[in-house]
Copies of this chain bind each other. A is one copy, B any other.
């Protein structure tokens, strides 16, 4: 991903958040980011694809940061779950990307709709898994229901809030409030065996709908490629980390905790540099791969 392209992407994101997707014309993006129409359509094959890229970027960022929060922590810690949910809200300039999600969901392009749908399902899937982490194995048949309901409550409360108040929403207050509601709901559902989504549907909700991980070879290749792209004198630590990662990944039995630690350091190293995004993306991919090992 080009630096220029990324800048266009961020500009577009800001405009979409400020003005809404449909009300932001391509021309607005061109004016604001000082590129020509040709360049825009060189980067993105359409306005929709531009939005897709933005959402994908936000999704990746969210996933990485949520993963980060969990390292070395107890899976059942409810506070961590709160923080993880807050990430999505805060990341999009105080929950302003979610409306875009919805706005587009019903709007026109079926391709885009499918894309959003998958993303939504991925979010449901993630939250379902996390709810099981927090509420235990007994919650398995009801976690998907609760995940969907939690999302619905959050979204609608945000709507209602923006409709009646100009003040900023206290996200933390909202999420903790909602988790207390789940605290009330979950035991009742478990004791009365009262689930809405049946097993088969539930499996689609909780199944893995995220994009598939790359193969190990592809991953190693990208890592090596990234290392080569670095100029020799700058950030020698970065190259060292990559070298170590490559060796550990190629080894007979990679040590997961070592990998996680090194990946974390690897990401930290590139914080604030121009190639941070690519480093972050790579770190995420490695993480995803490491996840499949245990």
Residues of A within 8 A of B (CB): 20-23, 99-100, 102-103, 105-108, 117, 120-121, 124, 145, 148-149, 151-157, 159-161, 163-165, 173-174, 177, 180-181, 183-185, 187-189, 192, 194, 196-197, 201, 204-205
Contact of A20 among B107, B155, B163 (CB under 8 A): B107
Distance to closest chain B CB from A13 (angstroms): 15
Residues of chain B within 8 A of A120, CB atoms compared: 159-160, 163
- Can you sample 7 A-B contacts with CB below 8 Å? A100-B106, A148-B156, A148-B160, A149-B157, A151-B156, A164-B201, A184-B185
Residues of chain B within 8 A of A108, CB atoms compared: 20, 22-23
Report the bound CA distance from A103 to B197 in whole Å.
25
- Cβ–Cβ contact A205 & B174, under 8 A: no
Residues of chain B within 8 A of A102, CB atoms compared: 102-103, 105-106
Residues of chain B within 8 A of A155, CB atoms compared: 152, 155-156
Residues of chain B within 8 A of A164, CB atoms compared: 121, 201, 204-205
Contact of A180 among B106, B180, B194 (CB under 8 A): B194
* Given A99-B106, A106-B20, A108-B23: A152 and B163 interface contact (C-beta under 8 Å): no
Distance to closest chain B CB from A230 (angstroms): 42
Q: Which residue of B lies closest to A144 (CB)?
A: B160
Report the bound CA distance from A181 to B160 in whole Å.
20
Q: Which residue of B lies closest to A113 (CB)?
A: B20
Given contact pairs A121-B164, A145-B157, enumerate 5 new A-B contacts (beta carbons under 8 Å). Answer: A107-B107, A152-B156, A160-B205, A181-B185, A184-B189
* Given A165-B201, A184-B185, A185-B181: A157 and B196 interface contact (C-beta under 8 Å): yes
Report the bound CA distance from A184 to B142 in whole Å.
14
Report the bound CA distance from A50 to B181 in whole Å.
40
Report the bound CA distance from A145 to B157 in whole Å.
8
Distance to closest chain B CB from A281 (angstroms): 27
Distance to closest chain B CB from A191 (angstroms): 10
Residues of chain B within 8 A of A177, CB atoms compared: 194, 196
Q: Which residue of B lies closest to A192 (CB)?
A: B180
Distance to closest chain B CB from A85 (angstroms): 15
Residues of chain B within 8 A of A189, CB atoms compared: 184
Report the bound CA distance from A227 to B5 in whole Å.
68
- Cβ–Cβ contact A156 & B160, under 8 A: no
Question: Which interface residue of A20, A160, A188 has the most chain B CB atoms within 10 A?
Answer: A160
Report the bound CA distance from A105 to B103 in whole Å.
8
- Cβ–Cβ contact B148 & A157, under 8 A: yes
Residues of chain B within 8 A of A165, CB atoms compared: 201
* Given A185-B184, A185-B185: A160 and B124 interface contact (C-beta under 8 Å): yes
Residues of chain B within 8 A of A107, CB atoms compared: 20, 22-23, 103, 107
